[in-house]
Structure 1
Amino acid sequence: MLDDAGLQALREAARLSPDNLPLRRHLADQLLAKGYLAEAEAEFRAALVLAPKDADVSAGLAEAFVRQSSFGEALAALEPFLGEPGCPPRLGVLAARALLGEGDVAAAAHRYHDAVTRDPSLADPALAARLAAPPQALGGPAPYGGAPSGPAYGGGAYDAPSPATPAAEASAEVERSRFTFADVAGMEAVKEALKVKLLLPIQQPELFAAFGKRAGGGVLLYGPPGAGKTHLARAAAGELGASFVNVGLADILDMYIGSSERNLRATFDLARRNRPCVLFFDEVDALAARRSDMRQAHNRQIVNQFLAELDGVDQDANEGVLVLAATNAPWYIDVAFRRPGRFDQLVFVPPPDASARAAILRILCRDKPIAEMDYDAVARVTEHFVGADLKGVVDRAVEAKLQQSISAGRAIPLATPDLLAAAKSVRPTSVREWMATARNYVLHANDSGAWDELMPWIKAKW
């Protein structure tokens, strides 16, 4: 309850005129100045709805967070502006305070000195003294590069600082894919999107150069598990005749602070040395999760490093590097990754329809002895099956047929009844569960329109 008559009058005025941005900002500023931090936070949030890109409103919200020791939330509020050229110096000082609260002294000092260099009037002697103090004197978590006390990935802990090592070498390996789009059944719309975004700029560079389009970029493939996202990535590399680097979590994440970022940089450098190259990140939500959900500064640094590598050190750094990523949970990925120039194209990889299922079965059976086969009949009884499920059906049918062949002493070919019998014993893995989650986001958390592509599919089938 506010005990200030002036603030009560301002709040009542804002209630009667909820869309009056100047009034709401003034109320939020007054609440912040008088120490009503939770109330100020609520008003800044309301103002941010009216003006999502207002740097002053974001700065006010960040200051309310910092003064409540909610440092991670403060950095999340500032993030859309910190990476832009000409970021207001005031935001840099706020970021320094938040980073210092998180224990990332080096990054805090960099932000502070950059801001004060551009606007000396923002100099804060107390903050500068804390940034210059030895880490042990600051209290709280150890600085980035030391041993923090909080949890790390998977509930473990960082027990020691990273040892002094030379520049990291990528543990991921360069491959040559033997698949092309001819090996991908159905999904014509998805393949066409990949061709236009990733392949054609390299295959027809003169045409794209005429329109100022460069070879490179990022596409985020999302959809239920087992729908063929990894297979699509390999096929894209094979279609282009490019190198393929399949990046797993074990290739990036490391128990020592700073090593994960070095591994990420080394992986991008590997792709740049082997261009044209398709660089594929599977389960990318583990590396690109929303920073507002992270409690530790070192976790956010991995996201920041990922964003920096996607942008490249100059405009030509990633030319010829085609970055593909796949996830089953796109709604957990930091929104900064969807900015133009990064993963600006989200491509939904749906479960296969009946004709695509028949085509998948045909591909899976093409190197096996088969009798007359009615793939359409099998496709009709495998609704909601994804490619991984269909492979399980074929594998189970082959195992049963192998037993018969061993008893008969000769190879007995697969037939339609074998696949139908196997299909009855296999349940679709996760499509229903995934679509239930997707439906909630599409219908109740789609203010930005990010999931509009899912809307027709969900309404038609679910």
Structure 2
Amino acid sequence: MSEESALVRSLRGAVAAAPEDVPLRLHLAELLLEAGQRDAAITEVAIALQHAPGDEKARELMGRAMGTPAPAQQTSAPAQQTPVPAQQGPAPAQQAPSPARQSPTPGRQSPATGFDWQAAEGQVRDVVPPRFVESPLRADGNDDPGGADAWEVDAPGTVRLADVGGMQDVKDRLEAAFLAPMRNPELRKLYGKSLRGGLLLYGPPGCGKTFIARAVAGELGAAFLSVSVNDVLDMWIGNSERNMHEIFATARRQAPCVVFLDELDALGGKRSRTQHSGMRNTVNQLLTELDGIDAQANEGVFVLAATNLPWDVDLALRRPGRLDRTLLVLPPDAPAREAILRYHLKDRPIENVDLGKLAKATEGLSGADLAHVCESAAETALLDSARTGTVRMIGMKDLLGAAKAVVPSTEAWFSSARNVAMFANEGGTYDDLLAYLKKRRKL
């Protein structure tokens, strides 16, 4: 018995070293079965069947371990088959021929062999993992749960333009070019102004274009549907266009609704520079949706878009009737910087902080840069408190030091925009940017 146990242990080690060696594993299972270790033998045979589902020897050994006869062998030499003990039933050669040659269905009893597959499945359920854990997608990807149908439209928010600190020039231009006609239905009717429109917000990153878009939706009392390139593009041909259509169909059902197209340069880039036909088709679909099926299709749908690279946006998107109005969103002015700093410092321990002085010291920084200044100052005070063991407040020294260390993230954008404003300002598209650069002596 000890010699047999040593052999089994050696085989276990060999199987562990070569887990996909089916003959070796079946040899171990046969020794275990002869040694009376029936459950261990069933486990090894089940794993072997997982690697080789059609292995006849494995199926025959599983039948022996389960106490049932093996299925009939499809061979012309029945004398080489392993004999079945008399108490287990008649030999395979005495059974009816054709039904035994079919693969039994799990959970049913084979009519020819009497093998209970449901019982066998129950015994090896905890040993053999399921082959598939989820149903496969359809060939066209329509079962993908991440499509446009899964989106939720935000209800009309409470954010208003009054919540945007400073930036009075931006608010005035928004009011004159976009909001005033929408707020006065009688004047709109008198002058034949449709309750639809498109506005493109552009400027350096981190300056609050998304927040302004939400504030516009709040001013209009409209639902808000934010869209990015990841929400639209799909690996399946035709699905990107379908997603774009579903976006606008959802907005029309939820009207009044603001559709916010974030990073428009990625979603509606110039088709002349696009090599992939799928991306060109997506831009074509966007143009179709902006035009609407008929004159009233997009009534109550307001399209706002934001981009850092307006010169990369397809020119057809900026044609009259689509995104025909543009608004430059620049780094926050002094009142806006003060409001942003107050917001980011309100829940932190501060003392003797002069927000007016700090706002002057942070000129040229974007809203994201200002948030980083507050974060860095808080980190400095925290490390000092950890070193000394005494909690101290955040002071002006911390904030001014952090502001001095931060390089404005807008500089790289202005370097690129300067060339566009000077040499590619067709039709005066970037006159407001050119005026700002002259005012700030950045030309």
TM-score normalised per structure 1: 0.60
- The SS at the match of 1:174 is coil
In structure 2, the partner of 1:204 is 184
- The SS at the match of 1:279 is strand
- CA contact 2:214–2:224 (8 Å) conserved in 1: yes
Deviation string, structure 1 residues 86-132 (Cα, Å, up to 9, x no partner): xxxxxxxxxxxxxxxxxxxxxxxxxxxxxxxxxxxxxxxxxxxxxxx
CA distance in 1, matches of 2:392, 2:222: 40
In structure 2, the partner of 1:14 is none
Change in 2 beyond 3 A, CA 1:367/1:182: farther
CA distance in 2, matches of 1:186, 1:305: 37
TM-score normalised per structure 2: 0.62
In structure 2, the partner of 1:6 is none
Aligned AA (1:175): D
1:356 pairs with one of 309, 326, 336? 336
Deviation string, structure 1 residues 332-373 (Cα, Å, up to 9, x no partner): 111111111111001101112334322321233344454342
- The SS at the match of 2:428 is coil
Change in 2 beyond 3 A, CA 1:356/1:310: same
- CA contact 1:198–1:216 (8 Å) conserved in 2: no
- CA contact 2:228–2:267 (8 Å) conserved in 1: no
- The SS at the match of 2:258 is strand
Deviation string, structure 1 residues 55-89 (Cα, Å, up to 9, x no partner): xxxxxxxxxxxxxxxxxxxxxxxxxxxxxxxxxxx
- CA contact 2:166–2:336 (8 Å) conserved in 1: yes
Q: CA deviation at 1:201?
A: 3.6
Q: CA deviation at 1:398?
A: 2.9
Q: CA deviation at 1:302?
A: 0.8
CA distance in 2, matches of 1:179, 1:230: 12
CA distance in 2, matches of 1:411, 1:194: 46
Q: CA deviation at 1:288?
A: 0.9
1:331 pairs with one of 290, 308, 311? 311
In structure 1, the partner of 2:271 is 291
Q: CA deviation at 1:303?
A: 0.8
In structure 1, the partner of 2:228 is 248
In structure 1, the partner of 2:174 is 194
- The SS at the match of 2:426 is coil
In structure 1, the partner of 2:153 is 174
Change in 2 beyond 3 A, CA 1:319/1:372: farther
In structure 2, the partner of 1:26 is none
Change in 2 beyond 3 A, CA 1:315/1:389: same
- The SS at the match of 2:154 is strand
Mapping of 1:435-446 within 5 angstroms? 435-446=414-425
- CA contact 1:172–1:251 (8 Å) conserved in 2: no
- The SS at the match of 1:343 is coil
Change in 2 beyond 3 A, CA 1:408/1:183: farther
- CA contact 1:202–1:320 (8 Å) conserved in 2: no
CA distance in 1, matches of 2:200, 2:210: 11
Aligned AA (1:344): D
Unpaired runs of 5+ residues, structure 1, are: 1-159
1:432 pairs with one of 401, 406, 411? 411
1:222 pairs with one of 183, 193, 202? 202
- CA contact 2:166–2:334 (8 Å) conserved in 1: no
- Sequence identity percentage: 47
CA distance in 1, matches of 2:234, 2:208: 28
In structure 1, the partner of 2:400 is 420
Aligned AA (1:350): L
1:450 pairs with one of 421, 426, 429? 429
Q: CA deviation at 1:408?
A: 9.2
In structure 2, the partner of 1:377 is 357
Change in 2 beyond 3 A, CA 1:392/1:314: same
Task: Please tell me whether Structure 1 or Structure 2 has the larger radius of gyration of its CA atoms.
Answer: 2
Aligned AA (1:272): R
Comparing 247-256 and 181-190, the one that deviates more: 181-190
Change in 2 beyond 3 A, CA 1:204/1:414: farther
CA distance in 1, matches of 2:346, 2:163: 11
- CA contact 2:223–2:258 (8 Å) conserved in 1: yes
CA distance in 2, matches of 1:170, 1:196: 35
CA distance in 2, matches of 1:265, 1:282: 17
Comparing 257-266 and 395-404, the one that deviates more: 395-404
CA distance in 1, matches of 2:303, 2:380: 41
Deviation string, structure 1 residues 268-291 (Cα, Å, up to 9, x no partner): 111112122111111111111111
Deviation string, structure 1 residues 199-251 (Cα, Å, up to 9, x no partner): 33443212222111122211000001111111111222223332111112111
Unpaired runs of 5+ residues, structure 2, are: 1-137
Change in 2 beyond 3 A, CA 1:369/1:250: same
2:340 pairs with 1:341: no
Q: CA deviation at 1:165?
A: 7.0
CA distance in 2, matches of 1:274, 1:318: 11
